[in-house]
Every structure is written in C-alpha cells, then in structure tokens.
Amino acid sequence: MGELPGWAVEALADVYDPCCREKGISVVDMGLLRSVTLSGSHARVELMLTSGWCPFATRLLTEIEDALAARPGVDTCQVDLAWDEAWTTDRLSASAAQKLRFLPDPASVPDRDAYVAAHRPHIEEVAR
C-alpha cells in the first residue's frame, strides 16, 4: 500500500466500514484505501472492499465522497472500486488487527484443541 496524503487520512479517519464501526476501525485502519490523489480540486480514491459481495459498498462510497468533498480545496470526488487486487488482512493497521484479534495461521498451532481451550472463555466468565 502506498503512502496516503495526510489530508485524506484526516478526512477519512471518521469514515467506517459499517461492519467495523462499533469497534472504531475506520476505512483507513482497515486498509481499504489503495490510493488517494488530488488533481486540481478533484479527488480520486481507489477503494478496496473486504468482499466483492459487500452489502454496504454503495453507502461506503457515498460517505467517502462526502468526507473528501467537504475538505477545503476539494470540489469533487470520485471513488472507484479496485477489482484487480484482493483485500487481505495484511492491509489492517496494527491497532485494527489487535481489535479484530484474528486467529493465527493453523499451521503455526501444533495442538489446536489446546489452543482453543486456552482461548475460549470459561462458562463462569461468560455468565457474569
């Protein structure tokens, strides 16, 4: 992922993929922005989706356009979906990865039953 312009990161820090809103993970932290460019007063975004079947894609495109068009010096904004590259969890920021707590690669866990037992909440803890 290339370096995103600071003005764009600032403008999009409060735009959330609806699936991650309650965890406070923005489209920036999700790594959904492949590029953001400004040509004159026209901003262009290349956006990746976590899934080609994302039911919130239209809403997300509109929120990104609105957030960038509200920036000084930006009159118009176009958001294009990038279909030639799949989004992967490698694109997550460190804080987003920690909040989502992805499981390790199965090949790196020699005893899967022990791993699950060690990380599963005990019945008493869940009942509290």
Tell me the domain boundaries of the chain.
6-101
**Per-residue pLDDT reduced to its tens digit, 20-66:** 888 899 999 999 999 999 999 999 999 998 887 777 778 899 999 99
Q: Would you say 99 and 105 are in contact if contact means Cβ atoms under 8 Å apart?
A: no
Tokens standing for residue 114: 């022990």
pLDDT tens by residue, 27-36? 999 999 999 9
Q: What is the pTM of this model?
A: 0.74
What values do phi and psi take at 96, rounded to 5? -65, -45
Q: DSSP strand E in the chain: where? A: 33-39, 42-47, 76-81
CATH hierarchy code of domain 6-101: 3.30.300.130
